[in-house]
Structure 1
Amino acid sequence: MTDRGRTALRQTADTLQIGPSAMRWQNGQLIIDIDEISSPPVISRVQGRITVTPSALTTVELPLTPDGTHIWRPFAPTCTVEVDLDAPGWRWQGHGYFDANFGTRALEQDFTYWTWGRFPHQGGSTCFYDATRRDGSTLAMATHFDETGSAQAIPLPPKAPMKRSLWAVKRTTRADAGYTPKQVQNMLDAPFYSRSAVKTRLQGEETTGVHEALDLRRFRSPLLKPMLAVRVPRRAGWTFET
């Protein structure tokens, strides 16, 4: 990820371009063209295309706070994703999703910790949100999306602990009673954040999905925030070629 200035933005009804990378809707698919340079410690060019084909688009919005300062928007909880990057071994096709979070306040102003998970389940996708807000209140949500995009709140399976991440970030998810979820692939590990592929069991069905844990008490630390500037460089002066 790279932070860029306003001069690096171009937008139409179907296209969003930020610097040399862009995404566009075309024939029911979200096509993402990437042309970036990765951050340290391995600096290299990242180029290629990701194609996201939703089974359906939703109109669902989930407020994460009572006053609506944070919203989760699952645009397409069930997708086929094709990855084709210009590097050996970086071609892949599988099950995926497309979502976003919006907010009018910084996350660390309203939350201390959350976990989120999205798992292929019963022909669609099941998503879990568990969060602790700074005022001590909590959020616990389970939603199933079928292939048409219809959403239904479902009973919450029991919370299940997982091993801490490499940076010792606490992790839990949801699973059938007596089942122990486990990480099957590490995706991103930071002092305040963990993203991984996790295997769990829901209503007797074993499934592997994406899981994240976010410790916002750590994120607020003035010792950690400078690290983001290394991992997310700024290119404020980038402009399009005329």
Structure 2
Amino acid sequence: MDGGTLPTTRNGLGLNGGPRFDPDVAQDGYVWWYVDALSDDGARGITIIAFLGSVFSPWYALARRRGPTDPLNHAAVNVSLYGAPRRWSLTDRPRSSVRRDATHLSIGPSSLEWDGTALTIRIEEVTAPIPSRLRGTICVIPTAVNTRGFALDSAGRHRWRPIAPVARAEVAMDSPGLRWSGAAYLDTNDGDAPLERDFVEWDWCRAPGADGTAILYEATRRDGTTQGLSLLAPRDGDVRDAPAPPRTALPSTRIWRVPRRTRAEGGEASVTKTLEDTPFYSRSVLSTRLQGVQRVAVHESLLLDRFAMPVVQAMLPFRVPRAFR
């Protein structure tokens, strides 16, 4: 497995090792903070991604084709609700909508705040393509904070840190009205170039268990090399390297035929739910076996050549509207 270890992401740690919302972001680059959670009963889920430099925005991709671009002029908060009802939003917003310091980030009417022990996310968004209100509060409480970061490419232009691989989430949505709690995960990625410039594809998964959270990260780089990480995040400290089980194929997604692969002991991995099936990206729930434990995992596959295709870029504005203030 090939993955360079960094002491942190380039811009350092936040309060008590948590997220830091005021990093420098290179032209054409990005930083994002990612949260996902599944309810204890398995019926519901949520994923939230706050972007400075919205890497999947067609507006940001168009601006970069015209010349070097300010990533803060393409900020967004992506919210995906799973279960009943399903909701999805991702609005590309200008620099004037961004307010931030080390512990607080506002993008339009939504915000994230880290108080040293918990991350509070306040959501106020409009869904697309059919508009409806998406409003609520999500509190993510880490069991421990990880300070170890990783380079995802050989040049160190793309970096990743799983901030809180073992966490709990309390979800309180007002619109739609939902209340639940469950196992959660928080990480951050940042980079100095568009993803599609340096990567062809990747897949990732996180799989909690009584011993902590197993994490897999696999990437095919544009230069033909590959990178892979197999990690175990204990409940009380930094992530550590773990034996990498064999690669195993999963069924492609039904609509867009996105290939899915993972690692699992004895090939014991299966898709139990497909949460997102898009032309270039899938998010799924797996039943898998890692580090000797049967686990429920959140998994994603990303195809960056498909993302860059003109026909896909032409479709994306229907799901990713642009706000002009």
The question of 1:43 aligning with 2:43 is answered no
Q: Secondary structure at the match of 1:225?
A: helix
Task: Supply the distance in 1 between the matched residues of 2:202 and 2:102 (Cα, whole angstroms).
Answer: 33
Corresponding residue number in structure 1 for 2:35:
none
User: Which has the larger share of helix?
Assistant: 2
Q: Secondary structure at the match of 1:169?
A: coil
Task: Supply the distance in 2 between the matched residues of 1:123 and 1:90 (Cα, whole angstroms).
Answer: 30
Structure 2-normalised TM-score? 0.69
Q: Secondary structure at the match of 1:223?
A: helix
The 8 Å contact of residues 77 and 149 in structure 1, kept in 2 or not, is answered as: no
The 8 Å contact of residues 214 and 290 in structure 2, kept in 1 or not, is answered as: no
1:182/1:192 CA distance change after superposition, 3 Å: same
Task: Supply the distance in 2 between the matched residues of 1:90 and 1:234 (Cα, whole angstroms).
Answer: 28
1:120/1:223 CA distance change after superposition, 3 Å: same
Residue by residue, what CA displacement relative to the aligned partner does 1:84-133 show, whole Å, maximum 9, x if unpaired? 11245632211110112111111111111110011113421111011111
Counterpart of 1:39, as a letter, is A
From 159, 173, 185, the counterpart of 1:85: 173
Corresponding residue number in structure 2 for 1:103:
191
Q: Which blocks of at least 5 consecutive residues in structure 2 are unaligned?
A: 1-89
The question of 1:171 aligning with 2:266 is answered no
Q: Which blocks of at least 5 consecutive residues in structure 1 are unaligned?
A: 238-242
Corresponding residue number in structure 1 for 2:118:
29
Corresponding residue number in structure 1 for 2:142:
54
Task: Supply the distance in 1 between the matched residues of 2:198 and 2:116 (Cα, whole angstroms).
Answer: 39
The 8 Å contact of residues 158 and 176 in structure 1, kept in 2 or not, is answered as: yes
Task: Supply the distance in 2 between the matched residues of 1:58 and 1:204 (Cα, whole angstroms).
Answer: 22
Counterpart of 1:17, as a letter, is S
From 148, 153, 163, the counterpart of 2:236: 148
Task: Supply the distance in 1 between the matched residues of 2:247 and 2:177 (Cα, whole angstroms).
Answer: 36
Q: Secondary structure at the match of 1:219?
A: helix
Counterpart of 1:7, as a letter, is S
Task: Supply the distance in 1 between the matched residues of 2:165 and 2:292 (Cα, whole angstroms).
Answer: 21
Moved more, 30-39 or 117-126: 117-126
Task: Supply the distance in 2 between the matched residues of 1:102 and 1:12 (Cα, whole angstroms).
Answer: 17
Matches within 5 A, 1:203-222: 203-222=291-310
From 114, 128, 131, the counterpart of 2:216: 128
The 8 Å contact of residues 134 and 176 in structure 2, kept in 1 or not, is answered as: no
Counterpart of 1:182, as a letter, is S
User: Which has the larger share of strand?
Assistant: 1
Task: Supply the distance in 2 between the matched residues of 1:225 and 1:133 (Cα, whole angstroms).
Answer: 21
The 8 Å contact of residues 3 and 234 in structure 1, kept in 2 or not, is answered as: yes
Q: What is the CA-CA distance between 1:178 and the residue it aligns to?
A: 4.0
Residue by residue, what CA displacement relative to the aligned partner does 1:45-88 show, whole Å, maximum 9, x if unpaired? 00001110001112111100011111112111111011111245
Q: Secondary structure at the match of 1:224?
A: helix
Matches within 5 A, 1:174-185: 174-179=263-268, 181-185=269-273
Q: What is the CA-CA distance between 1:204 and the residue it aligns to?
A: 3.3
